Amino acid sequence: MRYSVFALGWLAMGGICLMVAPLCPPCRTLGLGLIGLLVLMSVADALLLRRLEAVRARRAHEEILSLGAGNKVVVLVENPTALPCRFALRDAPPEECTHEEAMAAGALSPFGSFSFTYHLTPLRRGECRFGPLTLRVKTQLGLWIAQREVAVDDRVKVFPNLLQTKQQQLLTRRQRTRLMGLRAMRLRGQGTEFESLREYLPDDELRRVDWKASARRHALVTREYDIERNQQIMLVLDMGRAMASHLDYMTKLDHAINAAVLLTYVSAQAQDRVGVMAFAEEVVAFMPPGKGAGQLPLVLEQLYPLHPRAVESDYRAAFTFLAQRQRKRALIVIFTDLIDPDSSRRLMDNLALLHPRHTVLCVALSDYELRAMLAGAPANPTGLFQQTMADLVQEDRQLALATLHQRGILTVDAAPSDLSVAVVNRYLAIKREGRV
């Protein structure tokens, strides 16, 4: 507990009056009166402030924070006493997060409460810890200030982005998935599972006409097909040096994991079986495809501890391992990048271990900084050299993507901000076309 600026100013005025008392005798009486009144009011204010020790603060947030997303944190201040007061509060978010201003000040009425919200964005997966809440309280008199730290053992885990799955779930319930960029979940017309019959339209393929039903109705009738269920989906994440570079404040692997989480959720909704494998110089994690709502937490547990390694990825060992364990035909989604001709060549040569037995989708994260470098005009010789090198890298990348396409490998080349939606839409298109 300490004096406020207001009380110190009052005390200074009394002291000044006593200092000038030899020159102005009435000032002595005034100074003694000010100091005496300050002492009496300070005693009363201290007694009131003792009662306000019951004012409490607490923090509320999700049990698990999402990497790279704005996680909401709510701080609540409650006054359980019959006294009004003023307060100032400062939170201490984890050092591993960027955040909005985490402080507020205001007035509390008797038995009242006050809350404020801020958002924080974790920069890496793993465990992080909030610091204590710092709370300052003073009465309406404002002579004393009581400051204390509210110690809260608040450790949280940062998982891949779960907020996007919750957003997708909410929009799906509202039938507004296009707001998130996702195409319709229910896809009919090009699958292989019979769904319903409808009247023939002029642009329908003749092979889809149901001739028996047409004969009964004396009019052409077309079969509708639904996308297939219970298909095998394997998410394969490259943890090598190709995925170690940073895009914004997250690594390429972080962006890939966020996309894999959303794809797992959507695949589970489509009743597909989803499995995970991660590798670098060796296979680090493997979980065979499973089905059901409980698959997403299992996938999260596999992805949570993964971090990129500064080593060359062994594609041959990884794909051989996968080919031996994934016997049933599956859609294999490989999250990697094509950073140089050598790594791209090794990737393409070893994809023969998986294709054509499986449908392979190669997901590459485009470098937005590279595109920005190519778009601008160089300002100096150094900029010209950088732009020339960026152009060569871009040509190598486009050549690798074209080669994959020629060999029958499906590809997605998207910026980090669009990666999750691009991968899910590609998955839905593959199912619609019956290519798994």
User: What pLDDT, on a 0 to 100 scale, did the predictor assign at position 103?
Assistant: 92
Write the class of the CATH domain 54-159: mainly beta
User: What pLDDT, on a 0 to 100 scale, did the predictor assign at position 166?
Assistant: 54
Rounded distance between C-alpha atoms, residue 361 and residue 430, angstroms:
10
Nearest CA-CA partner of 6 in 162, 160, 142, 103: 142
User: What pLDDT, on a 0 to 100 scale, did the predictor assign at position 146?
Assistant: 87
Nearest CA-CA partner of 148 in 22, 53, 278: 53
What pTM was estimated for this model as a whole? 0.65
H or E element, residue 126: strand 126-129
H or E element, residue 273: strand 273-279
**What contacts 79, CB < 8 A, 6 or more positions away?**
52, 54, 55, 85, 108, 109, 110, 111, 112, 113
Rounded distance between C-alpha atoms, residue 313 and residue 237, angstroms:
11
Provide the pairing of β-strand 133-138 with 330-336.
unpaired
Query: What is the residue type of 11?
Result: L
User: What pLDDT, on a 0 to 100 scale, did the predictor assign at position 66?
Assistant: 84
Residuewise pLDDT in 10s, the chain (436 residues): 776 777 778 788 888 888 878 888 888 888 888 888 888 888 887 888 888 888 999 999 988 888 888 899 999 999 999 989 999 999 999 988 889 899 999 999 999 999 999 999 988 888 888 999 999 998 878 888 888 888 877 888 888 776 666 555 444 444 444 444 555 444 444 555 556 677 887 767 777 788 888 888 888 888 776 555 678 999 999 999 888 887 767 888 988 998 898 899 888 888 899 999 999 999 999 999 988 768 888 888 888 888 899 899 999 999 999 999 998 999 999 999 876 667 778 888 899 899 889 999 999 887 655 665 656 676 677 666 666 666 676 777 778 788 888 888 998 888 877 888 889 889 988 887 777 6
Other Cβ atoms less than 10 A from the Cβ of 19: the count is: 12
Write the class of the CATH domain 178-182+228-432: alpha beta
Rounded distance between C-alpha atoms, residue 85 and residue 90, angstroms:
17
3-class DSSP state for residue 404? helix
Residue 137 phi/psi, 5-degree rounding, is: -135, 140
Determine contact, residues 355/316, Cβ cutoff 8 Å: no
Rounded distance between C-alpha atoms, residue 118 and residue 116, angstroms:
7
User: What pLDDT, on a 0 to 100 scale, did the predictor assign at position 172?
Assistant: 44
243: exposed, middle or buried (Cβ count in 10 Å: 0-12, 13-18, 19+): buried
User: What pLDDT, on a 0 to 100 scale, did the predictor assign at position 384?
Assistant: 64
Residue 373 phi/psi, 5-degree rounding, is: -65, -35
267: tokens are: 């695949």
Domain coordinates in residue numbering, the chain: 2-52, 54-159, 178-182+228-432
Determine contact, residues 392/398, Cβ cutoff 8 Å: no
Nearest CA-CA partner of 343 in 313, 317, 316: 313
68: tokens are: 């790279």
- Region for 20 from its dihedrals, namely left if φ exceeds 0, alpha if ψ lies in -120 to 50, beta otherwise: alpha
User: What pLDDT, on a 0 to 100 scale, did the predictor assign at position 379?
Assistant: 66
Other Cβ atoms less than 10 A from the Cβ of 250: the count is: 21
Q: Is the dihedral of CA 413, 417, 422, 424 positive or negative?
A: positive
6: tokens are: 């207001």
User: To the nearest 5 percent, what fractions of the chain are helix, strand and coil?
Assistant: 40, 30, 30
**What contacts 373, CB < 8 A, 6 or more positions away?**
386, 387, 390
Rounded distance between C-alpha atoms, residue 150 and residue 203, angstroms:
70
Residue 261 phi/psi, 5-degree rounding, is: -65, -45
42: tokens are: 């300070």
Provide the pairing of β-strand 359-365 with 410-414.
parallel
Determine contact, residues 67/159, Cβ cutoff 8 Å: yes
Other Cβ atoms less than 10 A from the Cβ of 361: the count is: 21
